[in-house]
Amino acid sequence: MTGLVAVRCPADAILKTPVMLPWLYAGPVTDARIEVLIATADEDDAGVLRVALDPAAPDGVHVFERKNLGGDAPAWLVLASVVVPQIPAILTSIRELADRHRIGSVKVGDVEIVNPTPEQVERLLTEHAPEAPGG
């Protein structure tokens, strides 16, 4: 076959290239992870978050109850090491709960927001949005 020239392409360059089949992948091919920790005052909300995080957390989702000495007002802490491309989907779930004032705090990597508003989660979502192809 003419016109085809063999080229060598380093593996990291391939990984940095935007995917060619956007309908197949939600984001760049990467197995990088970020720790996500969400605090909520409601056990049911913690269950919802566990379900939302589970597909994105290869090592599982940990839900801890924080019990105070007085035994009242416990908090549920949902913790997982999440694959980076799934962060936007997770933040979308969090935004819905934040809209109903159900989130005590959210921490994504080093960024922590206490009593987050939907707008603050939206900004976090923008920061973690996948780059546009070719951008």
Partner 1 sequence: MHPRRRVDEALLRTLVEAQIGRHRSWGLYDRQQSTYLNLVLAHAERRAGRPVNVVWVEGGFPEIFTLQSGTISIPVFSTRYVEMSGMLRKILSVEYFDAALRREQIEFAILRLIGEMALRQGQADLAARSLTLSVLDRQHWIPDLGYNDYEMPPYDEGYAAHWYFAVLHEIGHSIPAPNTGLLADGFMRAAVEVEGLDPDRVPRSLRPDALRTEIVADMFAATMLLETTMLIMEDARGSFDPRVFMGECLLTAAVVELVERCRRFVREPVSDAVAVGTAGLRIREIFLRRQIIDDLRTLFGPQGPPEDVITGALIEVHNSYVAPALREIAPGVAAAMRMAQESEPSTATLLALLRAEATSPNAGIGQQWELRRLQDPLKLSPTRNLLLSELAEIAQTAAPWLEG
List 124's β-bridge partners, or say none.
none
Dihedral through CA 28, CA 18, CA 112, CA 100, nearest 10? -80
Q: Does 81 bind partner 1 (CB under 8 A)?
A: yes
Question: How far are the Cα atoms of 43, 56, 64, 110, 132 from residue 52, in angstroms, in the given order?
Answer: 14, 8, 16, 21, 24
Beta bridge partners of 77: 39, 64
CB 100 within 8 Å of CB 41 = no
The single residue among 19, 26, 63, 89 that binds partner 1, judged by CB under 8 A, is: 63
**Residue 67 found at the interface with partner 1 (CB under 8 A):** yes
Of the candidate spans 2-10, 18-26, 47-55, 63-71, the one that interacts with partner 1 by CB under 8 A turns out to be 63-71
Binding mask 22-61 for partner 1 (x = CB under 8 A): -------------x-x-x-------------------xx-
Give residues in contact with partner 1 (CB under 8 A). 35, 37, 39, 59-60, 62-74, 77, 79, 81, 105, 107, 112, 114
